[in-house]
Amino acid sequence: MTQFTAVFNLVNNASLIVQVLMGLLLAISILSWFYIFRKFLMLRRARKQAAIFETEFYKTTSLTNLHQGTLANRHTIGGMERIFSAGMQAFSDINEKDCLRAEAIEYTQRAMKAAYQRELDALEADLPFLASIGSVSPYIGLLGTVWGIMNAFIGLSNTEQSTLASVAPGIAEALIATALGLFAAIPAVLAYNRYVAEVDRLALRYESFVDDFSNTLQVRGLA
C-alpha cells in the first residue's frame, strides 16, 4: 500500500466532522492559491506600468500631450497614470477659474491624493483575505485534530485490549487535519507578507510621483 493510498483510506474512514473540516481546508487552500496568483499578476503589472510611465513622465516636454495619451488609453493605463490624469484634470479645471497658483496646486494635490487612495485600496484588495486564511486555517486544522484524537480515545475505551494499532488510525487522521491546516496557512502567510511589502514599495513610488508632479506643476504649469 502506497503512502498516498494509506492517507486516502484514513481520510475516507475519518469521522464526518473531520471529513468536513478537511474538505473545508482543501477548499480554502485552493481559493488561497487563486488569490495568491491573482495578486502576483496584479502587482507585477502595476510595477511594470509604473516603471513605463515614470520614464515617459520624466522625459516628456509636454504634460498636456502626455495627458492626452493617457486619456486615449484610459482603459489600459496603470495606477500612476490614473493619479497623473486626476491631477492634470484638477489643475486644468481650477486654472479656468483664475485662481492663484498656490491654490491650484493645493486643489490638485487633494485630487491626486484621492486618486492615490483609490489605487492603494485596489492594491491592498485580497490581502485581508490572505491574512485571515493564514490566521484561521491552523485553528480549523487544530479543531479537526482535537476531534480526531477524541474519537480515537473513545474507540480505545470501547476495546478490550488497548494497543497502538487500535488508536493509531484516529491519531493519524487527526494529524492529517493539522497538516491540511498548515498547508493552507503557510503559503497564505508568506504571500501576505511579501505582497504587503510590495504594496508599500508601490505606495512610496506613487507618493514620490505626487510630490514630483506637484513640483513640476508649480514650476512649469501645464506646459
Predicted confidence (pLDDT) at residue 167 exceeds the cutoff of 80: no
Which parts of the chain are beta strand (E)?
A: none
- pLDDT tens-digit map of 77-106: 889 999 999 999 988 888 766 666 778 888
Please tell me the predicted confidence (pLDDT) of residue 159.
64
End-to-end CA distance of the chain: give it in Å, rounded: 76
CB 17 within 8 A of CB 143: no
Q: Average of pLDDT values for 36-60?
A: 93
- Average confidence (pLDDT) over 7-16: 65
With contact defined as beta carbons under 8 Å apart, do 171 and 130 qualify?
Answer: no
pLDDT at 99: 67
pLDDT tens-place string over residues 170-220: 677 778 888 889 999 999 999 999 999 999 999 999 999 999 998 888 876
Average pLDDT score, the chain: 85
Model confidence at 107: pLDDT above 70: yes
Whether the pLDDT of residue 14 is over 60: the answer is: yes
**Is the predicted pLDDT of residue 4 greater than 60, yes or no?**
no
Please, are residues 140 and 22 in contact by the beta-carbon 8 Å criterion? no
Q: Band of the pLDDT at 47, cuts 50, 70, 90?
A: very high
Q: Are 178 and 141 in contact (CB under 8 A)?
A: yes
